[in-house]
């Protein structure tokens, strides 16, 4: 996967990938660009969601 340069200067984040850009784009779409902070419940839901991804594509 090609890397996409990120303008974010926070040292903890490396350049984002095309896939990550798609995630961010979709997040912006469904939140109407309101930039919500992820809650604990969201992070837990994301973990549950991505477990099957590790086993292969759906």
Partner 1 sequence: MAPMSPYADTKLAAYLTKRILELRPRKSQLEIAVDAGFINVNMMSLLKSGKSKVPLDRVPALAKALEVDPRLLFRMAIQQSSYETTSEVIDEIFGTIVSRNEVVWLEALRDASDHKDPALTARSRAALRSLFNK
Applying CB under 8 A, the residues found at the interface with partner 1 are 1, 4-8, 10, 12-13, 15-17, 19-24, 26-27, 30-38, 41-43, 45-47, 49-50, 52-54, 57-58
Could you tell me the smallest distance in angstroms from the CB atom of residue 12 to partner 1? 7
Shortest spacing between CB 39 and partner 1, in angstroms: 9
**What span, in angstroms and rounded, lies between the C-alpha atoms of 50 and 11?**
25
Using the Cα atoms of residue 9, residue 12, residue 14 and residue 18 in order, give the sign of their dihedral: negative
Name the residue among 1, 2, 3, 35 with its Cα closest to residue 16: 3
CB of 55 to partner 1, least distance (A): 11
């Amino acid at each position: 996967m090609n890397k996409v340069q990120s303008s974010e200067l926070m040292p903890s984040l490396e350049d984002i990938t095309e896939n990550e850009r798609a995630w961010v784009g979709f997040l912006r779409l469904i939140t109407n660009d309101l930039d919500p902070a992820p809650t604990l419940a969201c992070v837990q839901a994301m973990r549950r969601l991505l477990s099957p991804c590790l086993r292969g594509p759906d």
